A and B are shown apart, each in its own frame.
Chain A
């Protein structure tokens, strides 16, 4: 993991002191609410329905056991004993007192963490996939460049008051698990035939009110130009992005208005002034950062473990968990384990208690190298678990409510905090997730159904990524009451697609029944082991609509 040096440390501590002063000036009335607003947002602090919410950055989703213990202590000492992992690999605390925020930030700074730019109209947390550095299908570890970008974008004075928020993701694997097509800038890192590291640059993707997949503006960009190229994109956006309407202020709207060719020309023109300048990355800097991400001292293990094999044969429940929650590792004898934060009714998706955080920290040391990842699906990953330890870990995880074998299944729901917490939400998300989870409790049945993603957002802002769920649920407001619009056919990864609305929206009470009818339709039409998305692709939306909106309605109309 990246270790702070004196510069990094000075920056986070100075930032805490600066914000402490700003909080004091706000509390004494010296700063108005309007003046304080962007300052607190750029320190991760939102005003929600009931209290302040603090969003802590987990850069590219990687954290140490010590950092996890600190998050646990913050949940215990300053919140109500739990925190919430988001779809951007951050952690949110929902019940925060303003006066205590500087102390919380100080505690984070002590373990090389911060909440800088987790909100506001600036470059946000740089994200990548949860299996970076260990995935079997990885081309290169994207984290060194992610860290370089994190540093470059942190308090970059020219780009702190952009038209709107700006999200960057980077990925370097066969499967795109970082959703790079859904970001303001998506970066794909690969090598050419001579081994040179190159970047494909995609811009203008995003969910929210106007969901759109990103478009490529550059292929084959040598990695040394990463910062100058991103700077060129940001300068064009900062100068020309719309500021008259917050719903039309994201870069995707500018790209659409100019057209991708014209936008790319503007960027290339701007870049001509910057390339080969001081922003050009050096081998020395790459090595300095990359040396923090060298592979740990893996033991030489056999790829087969007798004990593991026996346990698989003896315990179908364990075998099921291994099938769903354990991912292949690039080192023989090791695996990556996904701990599901979605056990069903007991706990909203992404919520983790102090006790669970402490347990995860413990396991990361006991069964790995003290490293933990947060996946954008809001689950926790232990990246380096020997096969021989899987059974022990599974037993412990089950005791802590983190052993649910549902990764990638219908109940592995992505959901934003929704109307229970969020001031922006039109409707609640959590009770909908729980009602669906309650309706599909039978794990055997879920496993038979196979991979189905179900994503819920409480409003257009799409924090729950509903557009890219195979089944998407969007909370909408109709005359002051909460309704839910259903989309089908979204997907993430290399074959990213946006879901299509199936028809008029439903009340909260109707949603679980609707999902049941959608699943029943799938089962009726499914051929052998076909995936939900493939069946949908083959038969189209109509059969689903027919089941969901019975003909009776047409007759009465």
Chain B
């Protein structure tokens, strides 16, 4: 994918050599190389490819395949649809997914810090937006009152 940001040791960077291709079609020919498939299609031959989930998909269904899965992507059909945040929380905290968790779809600068706090570590910024510009949105605020995936202790336990 192009226009990708990834969190790595020492900070975030723009990735220019990402091998993954996001496939939205549920049927038809697959492109060569590494593909991220919609859940229904991926289930036909799990363990071969990466998968992306829509906000209606149950994250629990992926649990048996964690060892074989190279990457999980969560789709934001609209940046105003917040289900992906809870899906990310569940994948990271309850189900114990430690591999790459990528935000795809309507991924924009002003929501990146929330996504990061909910456990996403790569962000496929919407194609018409500048990844360089979006990078500025990753940090967010220095204060988090509640808790999140990356800071499970609420502020009152850190104050």
Query: Are A239 and B83 in contact, CB atoms less than 8 angstroms apart?
Result: yes
Does B65 touch A at the CB level, under 8 Å?
A: no
Interface with A: B7-15, B30-38, B97-105, B142-150, which one? B142-150
A162: B residues at CB distance < 8 A: 82
Closest Cβ neighbor of A155 among chain B residues:
B141
0 or 1 for each of B83-112: is its CB under 8 Å from A? (1 = yes): 101110100001000000000000010110
Q: How far does the Cβ of A158 sit from chain B's closest Cβ, in whole Å?
A: 4
Query: Are B143 and A10 in contact, CB atoms less than 8 angstroms apart?
Result: yes
**In the complex, A121 Cα to B80 Cα: how many Å?**
9
Partner of A238, one of B79, B83, B110: B83
B115: A residues at CB distance < 8 A: 157
A239: B residues at CB distance < 8 A: 83, 86-87
Does A400 touch B at the CB level, under 8 Å?
A: no
Does B127 touch A at the CB level, under 8 Å?
A: no
Query: Are A157 and B142 in contact, CB atoms less than 8 angstroms apart?
Result: no
Does A273 touch B at the CB level, under 8 Å?
A: yes
Does A152 touch B at the CB level, under 8 Å?
A: yes
**In the complex, A485 Cα to B83 Cα: how many Å?**
38
Helix, strand, loop or mixed for chain B's interface?
Answer: loop
Given A10-B143, A11-B145, A243-B81: A157 touches B94 (CB 8 Å cut-off) = no
Query: Are A158 and B108 in contact, CB atoms less than 8 angstroms apart?
Result: no
Does A408 touch B at the CB level, under 8 Å?
A: no
Partner of B82, one of A15, A39, A161, A279: A161
Query: Are A273 and B156 in contact, CB atoms less than 8 angstroms apart?
Result: no
Query: Are B145 and A278 in contact, CB atoms less than 8 angstroms apart?
Result: no
Given A157-B85, A235-B86: A227 touches B110 (CB 8 Å cut-off) = no
0 or 1 for each of B116-153: is its CB under 8 Å from A? (1 = yes): 01100000000000000000000001111111100011
Q: How far does the Cβ of A269 sit from chain B's closest Cβ, in whole Å?
A: 12
Interface size of B in residues (CB-CB distance below 8 Å): 33
Query: Are B143 and A285 in contact, CB atoms less than 8 angstroms apart?
Result: no
Query: Are B143 and A158 in contact, CB atoms less than 8 angstroms apart?
Result: no
Interface centre among A11, A151, A155, by most chain B C-beta atoms within 10 angstroms, is A155
A161: B residues at CB distance < 8 A: 79-82, 85, 111
Closest Cβ neighbor of B106 among chain A residues:
A35
Does A153 touch B at the CB level, under 8 Å?
A: yes
Instruction: Give chain A interface residues in 65-121, CB to chain B under 8 Å.
Output: 121
A235: B residues at CB distance < 8 A: 86, 89
Query: Are A158 and B85 in contact, CB atoms less than 8 angstroms apart?
Result: yes
Query: Are A39 and B110 in contact, CB atoms less than 8 angstroms apart?
Result: yes
**In the complex, A38 Cα to B110 Cα: how many Å?**
10
Query: Are B145 and A152 in contact, CB atoms less than 8 angstroms apart?
Result: yes
Does A52 touch B at the CB level, under 8 Å?
A: no
Query: Are B85 and A155 in contact, CB atoms less than 8 angstroms apart?
Result: no
Query: Are A7 and B143 in contact, CB atoms less than 8 angstroms apart?
Result: yes
**In the complex, A121 Cα to B85 Cα: how many Å?**
14
Partner of A7, one of B108, B148, B155: B155
Given A11-B143, A15-B141, A151-B145: A157 touches B117 (CB 8 Å cut-off) = yes
Does B3 touch A at the CB level, under 8 Å?
A: no
Does A154 touch B at the CB level, under 8 Å?
A: yes
A11: B residues at CB distance < 8 A: 141-143, 145
Query: Are B81 and A279 in contact, CB atoms less than 8 angstroms apart?
Result: no
B85: A residues at CB distance < 8 A: 157-161, 238
Does A496 touch B at the CB level, under 8 Å?
A: no
Closest Cβ neighbor of B155 among chain A residues:
A7
Q: How far does the Cβ of A362 sit from chain B's closest Cβ, in whole Å?
A: 34
Does B113 touch A at the CB level, under 8 Å?
A: yes
Closest Cβ neighbor of A282 among chain B residues:
B156
**In the complex, A10 Cα to B142 Cα: how many Å?**
8
Interface centre among A22, A243, A282, by most chain B C-beta atoms within 10 angstroms, is A243
Query: Are A238 and B146 in contact, CB atoms less than 8 angstroms apart?
Result: no
B79: A residues at CB distance < 8 A: 35, 38, 161
Does A18 touch B at the CB level, under 8 Å?
A: yes
Closest Cβ neighbor of A42 among chain B residues:
B110
Does B159 touch A at the CB level, under 8 Å?
A: yes
Does A156 touch B at the CB level, under 8 Å?
A: yes
A281: B residues at CB distance < 8 A: 156
Closest Cβ neighbor of B58 among chain A residues:
A239
Q: How far does the Cβ of B42 sit from chain A's closest Cβ, in whole Å?
A: 21
Q: How far does the Cβ of A242 sit from chain B's closest Cβ, in whole Å?
A: 12
Query: Are B110 and A35 in contact, CB atoms less than 8 angstroms apart?
Result: yes
Instruction: Give chain A interface residues in 1-42, CB to chain B under 8 Å.
Output: 5, 7-8, 10-11, 14-15, 18, 22, 31, 35, 38-39
A153: B residues at CB distance < 8 A: 146
Given A22-B110, A278-B154, A282-B157: A154 touches B145 (CB 8 Å cut-off) = yes
Given A11-B141, A18-B141, A35-B79: A158 touches B156 (CB 8 Å cut-off) = no
Query: Are B82 and A156 in contact, CB atoms less than 8 angstroms apart?
Result: no
**In the complex, A5 Cα to B79 Cα: how many Å?**
33
Q: Please name 10 pairs of A and B residues whose Cβ atoms are closer than 8 Å in the assembled complex, sorted by A.
A: A5-B159, A7-B159, A8-B143, A11-B145, A14-B142, A22-B110, A157-B114, A239-B83, A278-B153, A281-B156
B residues contacting A by CB (< 8 A) are 79-83, 85-87, 89, 94, 108, 110-111, 113-115, 117-118, 141-148, 152-157, 159
A-B CB proximity, top 3 nearest: A161-B82, A157-B114, A285-B156
A residues contacting B by CB (< 8 A) are 5, 7-8, 10-11, 14-15, 18, 22, 31, 35, 38-39, 121, 148, 151-162, 227, 235, 238-239, 243, 273, 277-279, 281-282, 284-285, 288
User: 10 other contacts beyond A152-B145, A153-B146, with CB at 8 A cut-off?
Assistant: A5-B159, A151-B155, A157-B114, A160-B85, A161-B79, A227-B146, A235-B89, A243-B83, A278-B152, A282-B157
